[in-house]
């Protein structure tokens, strides 16, 4: 009996070590230091983005803030991304993934995950913009919520406060229109969107887990 007990303990310890090693390689890493835009890059209309009280404040002309830091050399393929977000009435914004820096205009590469609880655009928070859109409003303005984007292979899951609102698998050899040719699963960085001067959005606790 004692031999069996020792064997069981040894197997459990070995399994525990293996599991722990896997978890350590998939840890959450912060992309925003809470005090500056260090490791982030913006082109035109850079004044749209500022930092205050541990938040990135988005308010101004159309602009996009791209992660340009050392985590995974700012090039992500399979990942889980989270950010805490708060919108003001009428605000529109977005979180891009698999994108690349642009000096101006709307990012041509990658997908946009919508941030919009009360803007005139009917595509609401959690939409995989223009691909798998959400009409329901799951959160209110002036309330913090957590938006999660998970990508594994061709599979994209978007969650609002841990509730999955989009479950999308990109078809093989997907065909897009001429204006959306690069809106496909690939690899790249993240970007936060400043949509228009009437939109105010706050982001904090921005982190990623590489899968």
Query: Which CATH code of 3.40.50.1820, 3.10.450.350, 2.60.120.560, 3.30.1330.60 fits the domain covering 29-210?
Result: 2.60.120.560
The pLDDT of residue 2 = 42
Q: Per-residue DSSP letters for the chain?
A: -HHHHHHHHHHHHHHHHHHHHHHHTT-EEES--SS--TTEEE-TTGGGEEEETTEEEEESSSEEEEE-SSGGGG-BSSEEEEEEEEE-TT--EEEEEEE---SSSS--SSEEEEE-SSSSSS--TT-BTTTB---S--S-TTS-EEEEEEEETTEEEEEETTEEEEEEEPPTT----GGGTT-SS--BEEEEEE--TT-EEEEEEEEEEE-
Closest Cα partner for 88 from 204, 193, 203, 200?
A: 200
The pLDDT of residue 15 = 37
Across the 211 residues of the chain, what is the mean pLDDT of every consecutive 10-residue run?
A: 42 38 66 98 98 98 98 98 98 98 97 98 98 97 98 98 98 90 96 98 98 97
Domain ranges of the chain: 29-210
Classify residue 172 by its DSSP letter. Answer: T
């Amino acid at each position: 009996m004692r031999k069996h007990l020792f064997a069981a303990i040894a197997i459990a310890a070995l399994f525990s070590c293996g599991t722990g090693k896997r978890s350590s390689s998939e840890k959450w890493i912060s992309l925003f230091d809470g005090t500056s835009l260090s490791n982030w890059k913006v082109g035109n209309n850079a004044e749209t983005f500022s930092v205050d009280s541990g938040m990135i404040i988005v308010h101004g002309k159309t602009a996009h803030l791209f992660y340009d830091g050392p985590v995974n050399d700012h090039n992500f393929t399979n990942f889980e991304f989270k950010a805490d977000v708060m919108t003001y009435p009428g605000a529109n914004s977005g979180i891009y993934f698999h994108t690349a820096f642009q000096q101006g205009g709307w990012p041509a590469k990658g997908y946009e995950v919508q941030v919009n609880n009360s803007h005139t655009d009917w595509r609401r928070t959690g939409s995989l913009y223009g691909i798998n859109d959400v009409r329901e409003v799951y959160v209110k303005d002036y309330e913090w919520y957590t938006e999660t984007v998970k990508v594994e292979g061709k599979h994209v899951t978007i969650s609002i406060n841990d509730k999955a609102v989009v479950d999308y698998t990109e078809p093989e050899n997907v065909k897009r229109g001429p204006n959306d040719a690069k809106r496909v699963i690939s690899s790249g960085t993240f970007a936060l969107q400043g949509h228009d001067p009437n939109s105010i959005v706050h982001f904090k606790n921005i982190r990623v887990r590489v899968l």
